[in-house]
Amino acid sequence: MPNIRLSKPVYEALPYYYVAIGAIAFAARLYMTWWYWPVICITIGVIGVVGGAVVWLVRRSHRRAA
């Protein structure tokens, strides 16, 4: 697996990006009319919000332990 290097500001903001993408997907669900797009938007929204929360909590617990 390649080692990807991100600048510190981008790395620190990743959980917020994940949550923002999830929130945008939840909002986009309101405007989608085809039968499968709301399900896709809800799935992306849940993954984004939960993923952002998990990354934030894991970082916080790791930093407290160090």
pLDDT at residue number 3? 82
- Residue 16 C-alpha from the chain's centroid: 7
Q: Measured between alpha carbons, how far is 40 from 45 in angstroms, rounded to an integer?
A: 8
Q: Which of 66 and 29 is assigned the larger pLDDT?
A: 29
pTM: 0.82
Helix (H, G, I), strand (E, B) or coil at 22: helix
In tens, the pLDDT along 5-45 reads: 889 899 899 999 999 999 999 999 999 888 899 999 999 99
pLDDT given at position 48: 97
Tokens, residue 39: 């399900």
